[in-house]
A and B are shown apart, each in its own frame.
Chain A
Amino acid sequence: MYNPHMPDEIDLASAMAAFEAKNFSLAMMMLSPFAETGHAQAQHLVAIMHQNGLGVVRNELAAYKWMKTSAEQGYGLAQHGLGFMYMEGECAPKNLQKAKDWFQKAADQGLEGSIAMLEYLKQSE
């Protein structure tokens, strides 16, 4: 059923393309409605843009909010990103246990970077 308030797949593809083309201001504008409606990948990309000041001024709180929302939906890259935030104390208070927990969730989905980070954290204990 057509819902004028629900962004469609064509818009999502255009929003992703804008991100890939590094047109971050446009990507932020186009991805935000998807993030608001619960699209995990859009939430992750919006988090990355807020975290690094891409197309917008850096906003740690917004970065953390969207990364966590996406991670809690089970999006692997966001779980890895949230693990990194806790490990580095960037956008979130430093918490190595939480970092491990989120890296583990991402590793369980097969993310090699997260498996490597878990190994690194174990070695540095």
Chain B
Amino acid sequence: MRTLTLGTSAALLLAAALAGAASAQTVQVDSAIAGYQKTSGVSGNLSSIGSDTLNNLMTLWAEGFKRQYPNINIQIEGKGSTTAPPALIAGTSQIGPMSREMKSEEIDAFEKKFGYKPTAIRVAVDALAVFINKDNPLDKLSFSQVDAIFSKARKCGGAKEIVSWGQVGVTGELATRPISLYGRNSASGTYGYFKEHPMCKGDFKDTVKEQPGSAAVVQGVTEDKAGIGYSGMGYKTSGVKALKISLKDGGDYVGVDDPTQVYSGAYPIARFLRVYVNKAPNKPLDPMVAEFVKYVLSNEGQQVVVKDGFLPLKAAMVQEEHAKLQ
């Protein structure tokens, strides 16, 4: 286990290095989202275990939160969304960031221990990007093509399996090259989301190289000219290119870089990032956790979201999330 942590931390180091190179965003945080109001008497240990996609974000929030309350000690671990529910249940973490919704089995296990269901709070919007090497001339794919590239089952209706770049219209030297697939490990929410949406719940091909982190996927595609991979858009670097995606063959191809398209739902693989907390019904949330969540939902917290390359929540969404804390 120790070596594994080492492995992940190596991947994290890389992630931190790459995050600096993330592309500049022009998104503005909704001005209707109020700033953070500091309260008193918040101190102690706060622990978060969960999503790798949210890992950078959690770290940045933790830094900001610590500036408000220097007496707080925050630990963050991000190996994959699936690690969040067991940690919440065992009580080893108070915050469980997840890039997918909890499955009913996980909710059951939580409910078995506490008698009530966990509370999900949306904290940011993430569009998944499908990346290819920057030297690949391709610029768009449809869902059924993505499915036929990544999945064995082709449940989205692709007629033929796609194995080489020539089959999606790439010409030149790359045309005959087999497509080299990069993906996340199965603990990741991104893995699950990708399976459910662009692949219509089909299975990944066995040849998808499972990487322990989003940064490793991007790094893999950067180094592999015939590579294709997916991860949250926050991990985009200059070595890769994000494809335009369309829900239907010949439909509108939408780029991930256009925030309005993501908010309107026109970009087909966008999702909410969530943190799960253990809130007993009829009882207020633990003050430290409550303040952290409030910070995340504040203007400052959402600025951090923009800084890390994700999309901030809209004011109406923030309002809905605040209601859950009551």
Does A associate with B in a complex? no
